[in-house]
Amino acid sequence: MARTHFRTCPLCEAMCGIALKCEEGLITDIRGDPDDPLSRGYLCPKAVALKDIHEDPLRLRQPLRRVGARWEPVGWDEALDEVAERLHAVRREHGADSVAYYQGNPHVHNHGALLMAMEFTRSLGSRSRFSTASMDHLPHLLTAYQMFGHQLLMPVPDLDRTDLLVVLGGNPAVSNGSLMTAPDMTRRLKALRQRGGRVVVIDPRRTRTAELGDTHHFIRPGTDPLLLLALIQTLFHEGKVALGRLADFTDGVEVLREVSASYNPERVAAQVGISAEDIRALALDLAAAPTAVVYGRLGVCTQEFGTLNCWLINAINVLTGNLDRLGGAAFTRPAVDTVAVGKWMGQQGELGGWSSRVRGLPAFTGELPVATLAEELDTPGEGRLRALVCAAGNPVLTAPNGGRLARALDGLDFMVAIDFYVNETARHAHFVLPPTFALERDHYDVAMHMMSVRNTTRYCPPMVPAGPEARHDWEIYLDLAIRLDALRGGPIGWLGVLRGRLLRWFTPTRLIDLFLRIGPYGRRSPLGRGLSLAALREQAHAVDLGPLEPCLPRRLYTRGKRLQLAPPLLVADLKRLSERFTAQGATAAAPELVLIGRRQLRTNNSWMHHVPRLTKGPDTCTLLMHPEDARRLSLREGQAVAVCSRVGRVTAPLEITDAIMPGVVSLPHGFGQHAGDAAPGMPAVTHPGVSLNDLTDDARVDALSGTIAFSGVPVTVVAAEAEVSATG
Ligand SMILES: Nc1nc2c(c(=O)[nH]1)N[C@H]1C(S)=C(S)[C@@H](COP(=O)(O)OP(=O)(O)OC[C@H]3O[C@@H](n4cnc5c(=O)[nH]c(N)nc54)[C@H](O)[C@@H]3O)O[C@H]1N2
Ligand SMILES: Nc1nc2c(c(=O)[nH]1)N[C@H]1C(S)=C(S)[C@@H](COP(=O)(O)OP(=O)(O)OC[C@H]3O[C@@H](n4cnc5c(=O)[nH]c(N)nc54)[C@H](O)[C@@H]3O)O[C@H]1N2
Ligand code: SF4
Ligand SMILES: [Mo]
């Protein structure tokens, strides 16, 4: 019998509502849910691939153990026992910090994993924790903590009501938006313009978002802080600073005036690559627009001055009175108030406390930067990492200097991957523990509701029951935690066992119920009663909780509820900026070509590349280059070129286009799969491409936060020996 299940697509931040039709255990249709208050029927091509992964016979359902080059299936209890024993043995011999934990991106859409990974890391007792945050949004977290007192209190563009959207380092038309949950970006951007608004995009590449917008400016990679300071200088110089109601609770305006004073547009124009008139005009437009918002995403975070960028972007929104305002940069009021829950669980947004062994990069919220992972694995000496638990991630393809990381993994005493595919990282593991896939578990988006352009809430029960032999990520975490605590023994160990058992009985789903009940709609909601899991279970579709509303200063977590416009930690980092960009220094030393990444509509980081409907058609893993550079280097369209950086070399077909800035080249992120491997749980990939992260350099970081500087890697490009055939 056919039945339609309404769910949230768990694949990216857009949280589209989807309708899945099931017949006799098979998905026969996937479409957008027209009754979803956020996505209103939209979905992207990736949603249909949910079927391919859900039904993929190669997706692992049983743990695997590697014996030499051979993989053998093993039972859950045996696997969990052995994994816990081997992790425990390493920590006994080399200390708890010698066991590293890496948490990949898909956990952000998996409430059970997110919540119970904390219990697992507690029982592991290691400070050597890593996640994708330090390759992604860490600068936004650090900035939010510094300015608003809580790292999760990040403002979101009020996209559907703004008059001017300025996008730096994001391509939401393709990525479907990040830290800005707003499905169907194309329609939303068109609607913005139809109601008389404008979209300005500042990006070294003329992206799809730029094409949909009104104005696009190329920018030299990594020079965004200069542009932002010049915008601020102009606002002050032209007397256009107007904080409005924010003035009552904002500190640091005069500091910002002082530190930006020397960055007039003329001074930075040549380095940034945008004319002084254009910079000045943009500042004046921001000041004049009835409402405006500057939005900065991945491209401005993963730079040498990523934290400065995030700070200065927030600062412009404050100086123009657009923070916490309808049509500006506003804050959500989610049903599970992750900000309050995080605070309640003792999460801190402090930088430092301890730092990495080899390079001394600071920990943030209890995590070390991923840029240090390879060196912590392969640098000999006291304190070297000896074991790794890699969950829902693929750092060999997604972390900087992936080649070095891959080599380092082979030197480990023990490694376990928690993944249902033996990806390029998991193939180095001794065990692979496969969790259920998204449709076999329930779903509540604890993270994305917090970053949405409109408040909504929804709970999805599992679409199909997980088999009796299947385990969810959260169960794997607790099963390991309980075992590790038992092996530790003593009162602390046994208390841990008890805690783990209690949580396993309680379940993450009941935690969500609890969070809903104590949340801002626990007593009253648009449903006419307080929110709880039972109330949400009755709703087939997401529940609309209304638009973003002003909430400052009440919501601030700073002392005295003051908004900190010029936090000393960030102001101090301006010295590093001025040293880096001395008047002539930058141009004199500028490399001829620098590399940036890009995302494509049919990719999702490094996984799903084996799904034919996403990868059919020509090879898209090409190196983009401007015609002027191609002419100068005597390179031709389609020719195989070798791209070399300090750390590696890859070969890719050349694609010549004026959509990229002269002096900049681009390779897509997430490629470089092992093609046609015989290992189980390793589907073949038609267009494996090459890994961008074989070129990115783990030595290049935002020294303040430790975030990797993916953007602007100096490279050389030469003709490779062989021509790429037409079939690629
Ligand atoms: N050069 C460059 N590098 C980048 C980026 C870039 O723009 N440029 N982007 C960075 C960013 S923003 C990110 S977020 C990272 C992503 O980096 P990672 O998180 O390391 O990589 P993913 O490709 O997302 O890996 C996902 C893995 O999780 C598995 N998986 C999927 N769902 C589940 C699940 O429910 N449970 C478990 N246990 N496993 C699951 C998949 O099978 C896959 O193997 O890459 C970063 N790396
Ligand atoms: N289709 C698809 N969607 C995805 C993903 C995916 O892999 N594929 N990944 C998801 C994940 S994990 C994330 S975090 C989000 C990221 O979502 P976005 O932040 O939208 O990420 P990107 O598309 O990588 O856009 C980054 C932009 O920054 C530009 N850029 C690079 N260097 C600079 C610079 O120095 N200055 C400026 N101003 N711009 C620069 C790049 O050209 C690029 O257009 O996307 C998510 N959505
Ligand atoms: S944009 Fe695509 S992948 Fe993202 S949630 Fe929507 S349907 Fe899923
Ligand atoms: Mo990401």
Residue 170 placed within a domain = yes
The angle formed by the CA atoms of residues 556, 560 and 565, to the nearest 5 degrees, is 65
Pocket test for ligand 2, best of 178, 303, 605 (most atoms within 8 A of CB): 178
**Nearest Cα residue to 39 out of 547, 542, 603:** 542
Q: Say how many Å lie between the CA of residue 45 and the centre of ligand 3.
A: 8
Domain shared by 370 and 426, yes or no: yes
- Report the pLDDT averaged over residues 309-323: 98
Summarised one tens digit per residue, pLDDT across range 99-121 is 999 999 999 999 999 999 999 99
Name the closest ligand to CA 427: 1
Domain shared by 50 and 76, yes or no: no
Domain shared by 656 and 723, yes or no: yes
Burial class from Cβ neighbours inside 10 Å (0-12, 13-18, 19+) for residue 164 reads buried
Mean pLDDT of the chain: 95
Rg (Cα) of the chain, in Å, rounded? 25
- Domain of 662, CATH number, reads 2.40.40.20
SS (H, E, C) 313-378: HHHHHHHCCCECCCCCEECCCCCCCHHHHHHHCCCCCCEEEEECCCCCCEEECCECCHHHHHHHHH
pLDDT over threshold 60, residue 463: yes
Pocket test for ligand 2, best of 599, 611, 625, 667 (most atoms within 8 A of CB): 599
Domain hosting 17: range is 3-54
Domain shared by 124 and 186, yes or no: no
Q: Is the CB of 38 under 6 A from ligand 3?
A: no
Q: Is the CB of 20 under 6 A from ligand 3?
A: no
Residue 440 placed within a domain = yes
Summarised one tens digit per residue, pLDDT across range 368-421 is 999 999 999 999 999 999 999 999 999 999 999 999 999 999 999 999 999 999
- Domain of 18, CATH number, reads 3.30.200.210
Domain shared by 425 and 347, yes or no: yes
Minimum CA distance residue for ligand 2 atom 6: 604
More confident residue, 352 or 267: 267
How much is the pLDDT for 683? 79
Domain shared by 512 and 618, yes or no: no
Name the closest ligand to CA 295: 2
Minimum CA distance residue for ligand 1 atom 40: 392
Domain shared by 80 and 12, yes or no: no
Domain shared by 91 and 197, yes or no: no
How much is the pLDDT for 583? 53
The minimum-distance atom of ligand 2 relative to the CA of 205 is 42
Domain shared by 15 and 71, yes or no: no
Residue showing tokens 């692992």? 60
Minimum CA distance residue for ligand 2 atom 13: 178
Summarised one tens digit per residue, pLDDT across range 637-694 is 999 999 999 999 999 999 999 999 999 999 999 999 986 565 677 778 889 999 999 9
Q: Is the CB of 603 under 6 A from ligand 1?
A: no
Minimum CA distance residue for ligand 2 atom 37: 169
Q: Say how many Å lie between the CA of residue 460 and the centre of ligand 2.
A: 29
Q: Say how many Å lie between the CA of residue 136 and the centre of ligand 4.
A: 5
Residue 637 placed within a domain = yes
- Which amino acid would we find at residue 205? R
Minimum CA distance residue for ligand 1 atom 39: 392
d(CA 558, CA 543): 31
Q: Is the CB of 597 under 6 A from ligand 1?
A: yes
Q: Is the CB of 605 under 6 A from ligand 1?
A: yes
How much is the pLDDT for 345? 79
Q: Say how many Å lie between the CA of residue 132 and the centre of ligand 1.
A: 8
Residue 454 placed within a domain = yes
**Nearest Cα residue to 225 out of 579, 560, 676, 682:** 579
pTM: 0.97
Q: Say how many Å lie between the CA of residue 107 and the centre of ligand 4.
A: 11
Summarised one tens digit per residue, pLDDT across range 498-544 is 999 999 999 999 999 999 999 999 999 999 999 999 999 999 999 99
Summarised one tens digit per residue, pLDDT across range 12-49 is 999 999 999 999 889 999 999 999 999 999 999 999 99
Q: Say how many Å lie between the CA of residue 176 and the centre of ligand 2.
A: 10
Q: Is the CB of 104 under 6 A from ligand 1?
A: yes
Name the closest ligand to CA 120: 1
Name the closest ligand to CA 173: 2
Domain shared by 124 and 179, yes or no: no
The neighbouring-strand residues paired with 307 are: none
Residue 703 placed within a domain = yes
The minimum-distance atom of ligand 1 relative to the CA of 399 is 47
Residue 120 placed within a domain = yes
Residue 554 placed within a domain = no
Domain shared by 84 and 182, yes or no: no
Q: What's the number of domains the chain is made of?
A: 4
Residue 190 DSSP symbol: H
Q: Say how many Å lie between the CA of residue 361 and the centre of ligand 4.
A: 21
Domain shared by 399 and 321, yes or no: no
Summarised one tens digit per residue, pLDDT across range 596-646 is 999 999 999 999 999 999 988 899 999 999 999 999 999 999 999 999 999
**Nearest Cα residue to 698 out of 448, 475, 377:** 377
Q: Which of 167-181, 186-200, 342-356, 415-429 has the lowest mean pLDDT?
A: 342-356
Name the closest ligand to CA 15: 3
Q: Is the CB of 567 under 6 A from ligand 1?
A: no
Residue 306 placed within a domain = yes
Q: Is the CB of 513 under 6 A from ligand 1?
A: no
SS (H, E, C) 530-548: CCCHHHHHCCCCCEEEEEC
- Single out the residue in 537, 571, 605 at which a domain terminates: 571
How much is the pLDDT for 35? 96
Q: Is the CB of 241 under 6 A from ligand 1?
A: no
- Domain of 312, CATH number, reads 3.40.228.10
d(CA 307, CA 271): 19
Residue ranges lining ligand 2, Cβ < 6 Å: 12, 105, 136, 168-172, 174-176, 178, 202-205, 207, 219, 221-222, 224, 297-300, 303, 596-601, 603-605, 670, 711-712
pLDDT over threshold 80, residue 141: yes
What is the dihedral angle through the alpha carbons of 1, 465, 438, 688, rounded to the nearest 10 degrees?
-80
Residue 106 DSSP symbol: G
Q: Is the CB of 19 under 6 A from ligand 3?
A: no
How much is the pLDDT for 25? 83
Name the closest ligand to CA 441: 1
Q: Say how many Å lie between the CA of residue 323 and the centre of ligand 1.
A: 31
* Cis? peptide before 461, omega within 30° of 0: no
